[in-house]
Chain A
Amino acid sequence: GENVEQHPSTLSVQEGDSAVIKCTYSDSASNYFPWYKQELGKRPQLIIDIRSNVGEKKDQRIAVTLNKTAKHFSLHITETQPEDSAVYFCAASSGYSTLTFGKGTMLLVSP
């Protein structure tokens, strides 16, 4: 089955800095890569996703890049704000039905 590794497990940045979270996957057939944000005590929510036919996708301060050859994808957050503090999960889907999640990155943005 699919295996997703996520790094780092924790990330501390100053407000206004950029943050990068990286994930690798094992199944070359995976074709869908979402990122979820989970605030403390809340449910995970999708913030951005990318499909395997696209190398990069951007939505305001958030961007995701995908390198299919190396089997890794990354989340980039620019101009971080305290409200970006949360746990971020990457995931990969090698079949249409299910997702395999990484173990999460706790991002702390200090004012």
Chain B
Amino acid sequence: NAGVTQTPKFRVLKTGQSMTLLCAQDMNHEYMYWYRQDPGMGLRLIHYSVGEGTTAKGEVPDGYNVSRLKKQNFLLGLESAAPSQTSVYFCASRNTGREQYFGPGTRLTVT
């Protein structure tokens, strides 16, 4: 039981490049979330999903897209990366209980 995993762990992009971050969970959780964490800013919700095939915007969705084609996977896409998207990205999942289980994070640098 791996819990929540994220791929990749680190990535460096040039401005304008695109990439996809993968979140996978093996706990059969319905809810999945993408957050970004910046120094002094806490965890801010980008997008979330309440079940397979659903997505919704969070607090800071601009510049990101998501897809939840399979229940166990939640993908975060950056179509045209900008330096302001340099951050640590965390995925989380939960079921009917309220506790969110976080992945190990992806450190993204956009130059």
Contacts and interface: CB of A to CB of B under 8 A. Distances in A.
Our verdict on whether A and B bind, yes or no, reads yes
Interface of A: 1, 6, 9, 32, 34, 42-46, 49, 89, 93, 97-104
Q: In the complex, which of the residues A1, A6, A102, A104 has the most CB atoms of chain B within 10 Å of its own CB atom?
A: A104
A39 to B, nearest CB: 12
Contacts, number: 45
Interface of B: 31, 33, 40-45, 48, 50, 56, 58-59, 90, 98-100, 102-105
Nearest to A6: B42
Contacts of B105: 43
Given A34-B100, A89-B42, 14 more contacts: A32-B98, A34-B98, A44-B102, A46-B99, A46-B100, A49-B98, A89-B43, A97-B31, A99-B45, A99-B100, A100-B45, A100-B59, A102-B42, A104-B42
B40 A103 contact: yes
Nearest to A4: B42
A44 B48 contact: no
A44 B33 CA distance: 13
A101 B100 contact: no
A100 B8 CA distance: 26
Contact of B90 (A34, A44, A102): A44
Contacts of B33: 98
Given A97-B48, A98-B48, A34 B43 contact: no
Nearest to A99: B100
A59 B96 CA distance: 22
Nearest to A87: B42
14 contacts: A6-B42, A32-B98, A34-B98, A42-B104, A43-B102, A43-B103, A43-B104, A44-B102, A46-B100, A93-B98, A97-B31, A98-B33, A99-B45, A104-B40
Nearest to B41: A103
A15 B31 CA distance: 39
B102 A101 contact: no
Contacts of A45: 102
